Amino acid sequence: MAITVAVPAQQVGLALISSLAFLRGRALSSVASKSYRLNFDKVVAQSTLSGVLFDGEGRRGNTVREPCSKSRNLCAYATSQESLRGPTQAGPPSTDGGLVDTSPPKGTRDFPPEDMRLRTWLFNHFREVSSLFGFEEVDFPVLESEELYTRKAGEEITQQLYNFEDKGGRRVTLRPELTPSLARLVLQKGKSAALPLKWFAIGQCWRYERMTRGRRREHYQWNMDIIGVPGIEAKAEVLSAIVLFFSRLGITSKDVGIKISNRKVLQEVLGRSTIPQSTFAAVCVILDKIEKIPRSEMEKELAALGLTAEAVDTILQTMMTLRSLDDLGELLGAENEAVVELKQLFELARGYGFEDWLQFDASVVRGLAYYSGIVFEGFDRSGTLRAICGGGRYDKLLSTYGGVETPACGFGFGDAVIVELLKEKNLMPDLSHEVDDIVMPLEEQLRPQAAVVAARLRSGGRRVDVVMGNKKMKWAFKHAERLQAKRMVLVGSAEWAQGSVRVKDLSSREEKDLPLEKLT
Ligand code: HAM
């Protein structure tokens, strides 16, 4: 609940003192029951004369804030601690010293420390898995040329661009995905890049999207891509990486499945009807909405591409009813390329040991125009979340940018849906802010000696927090507990005169004096 204390300016001082006392009491009692994080700086009073919010020290600020989850989910993953979020969402940023909106732009997130810890943990897994598969990390600018995304197949992504003209009159956009940037870099490297390239990237993407659970206007994506391998083995490698990632997080094939298909299936079906192959990408984009829009709507959109009612019916029937490789084999013939590729992939998956994660599903075509062969999407088996990850083969993308046609495949894996899944499965890691040692000078004039101790410990690789300001011992021990410190190192004049410091082991509660040269 938001609390604003509104009183005339002259009474603010008095009211503030009693309000703070009251609110501190409330906040402290919440600690026991709800684990609120305390931030008394945000307890404010409002002057009705100036309309300005300020805190006890005269700083401008916001009102006492609501938990993230109850407002617009503005913290990155809205993790264990409920953040304090104000009701004041309105109003442009102020430049005249008035109240500023402290919320980030709609659909974007702040990463306070607790969310940043989770993000770092997630990204570390992304990086470690990529490195276990021998991939190298790359990065691209968040701002890209708009022309990289001006595709004409009616993809949603191209209508969701954060695009604008820069001061030099160039059309630019915040990147909605990483694949076009990767293709651009491959082209730029040209012949100097020895194929195959195995690249991974973790980057922020921007899409002006309707927000639903796990879908935001910015998200981070982990991508792994292999450039220059035409065979199914490349696809199997990246799928195996995804499965390893899930397994490391405790997610099993009972929680998540990966729907697989091959765009060549649709190409075959289109080839058998009188449908021009040129409409292929646009048909895929429409079919990708199979679970999002009613059949009648899809029929209308396909008809608008010039498809006959009979062709539309054939496509939809095939996509919606084909659920096994055997059925597919019967429809297209066992020697058909799409069937052969899928069978090879399932065989390799058996070898890697992740076959139970895969599920053939002809309705998966993916909504991006550039995919050409096998495509896939990770989904949660309880059916409550949007796609967890997705990818496929995109052999023609480089040639659409003027390069030579080059086999390529990979996937994108977002940071938002996976966190929703971890929460649902009770698999969220316990990540607290940790240090090893707290160093405390017992007198202010011993601060230089405390600095010597801290520097020595840090150079030995220990994480050290030095107590700053004039704090009491009780505060320091509470602080140590909060940071889950292992030791308290006290710098006192008597011990220092002996060349020692007092070291207290915070788990055993034992303490002893240690000569500085033995302190590690
Ligand atoms: P995509 O399916 O558009 O594919 O996105 C990949 C993943 O990014 C999704 O499965 C989801 O986890 C995440 N994602 C996408 N949009 C959002 C959003 N608005 N909010 C939160 N998460 C989102 C691509 O982007 C392809 N470029 C992937 C690829 C790489 N294909 C080959 N290589």
* Structure confidence by residue, pLDDT tens digits, 233-286: 999 999 999 999 999 999 999 999 999 999 999 888 887 766 666 788 899 999
Domains of the chain: 2-84 (no CATH), 113-424 (3.30.930.10), 437-518 (3.40.50.800)
Whether residue 51 is predicted with pLDDT greater than 60 in this model: the reply is no
The whole-angstrom separation of Cα 293 and Cα 211 is: 17
pLDDT in tens, 8-34: 333 333 333 333 333 333 333 333 333
499's torsion region: left (phi>0), alpha (psi -120 to 50) or beta? left
Residue 46 CB–ligand 1 contact under 6 Å: no
Q: What percent of the chain has pLDDT over 70?
A: 81
Give residue 255's pLDDT: 98
**Residue with CA closest to ligand 1 atom 25:** 177
Q: Are 123 and 431 in contact (CB under 8 A)?
A: no
Residue 391 CB–ligand 1 contact under 6 Å: yes
Whether residue 65 is predicted with pLDDT greater than 50 in this model: the reply is no
The whole-angstrom separation of Cα 377 and Cα 392 is: 9
pLDDT band per the 50, 70, 90 thresholds, residue 54: very low
Q: Are 504 and 491 in contact (CB under 8 A)?
A: no
Give residue 91's pLDDT: 46
Compute CA distances 171 → 144, 162, 174, 370, whole Å.
9, 11, 11, 22
In the structure encoding, which two tokens stand for residue 372, read together?
A: 């050409």
Report which DSSP code applies to 226.
E
**Residue with CA closest to ligand 1 atom 9:** 389
In the structure encoding, which two tokens stand for residue 179, read together?
A: 């694949």
Ligand 1 centroid to Cα of residue 419, in Å, is: 15
**Residue with CA closest to ligand 1 atom 18:** 215
Start-to-end CA span in the chain (Å): 48
Q: Are 436 and 464 in contact (CB under 8 A)?
A: yes
Ligand 1 centroid to Cα of residue 156, in Å, is: 12
The whole-angstrom separation of Cα 171 and Cα 261 is: 36
Give residue 321's pLDDT: 86
248 assigned ligand-binding residue: no
Residue 373 CB–ligand 1 contact under 6 Å: no
**Ligand 1 atom nearest 211 alpha carbon:** 19
pLDDT in tens, 81-113: 444 444 444 445 555 677 889 999 999 999 999
207 assigned ligand-binding residue: yes
370 assigned ligand-binding residue: yes
Angle, alpha carbons 409-411-413 (nearest 5°): 170
Q: Are 268 and 332 in contact (CB under 8 A)?
A: yes
Whether residue 437 is predicted with pLDDT greater than 70 in this model: the reply is yes
**Residue with CA closest to ligand 1 atom 13:** 414
Computed over every residue of the chain, the mean pLDDT equals 84
pLDDT in tens, 358-393: 999 999 999 999 999 999 999 999 999 999 999 999
The whole-angstrom separation of Cα 194 and Cα 201 is: 18
77 assigned ligand-binding residue: no
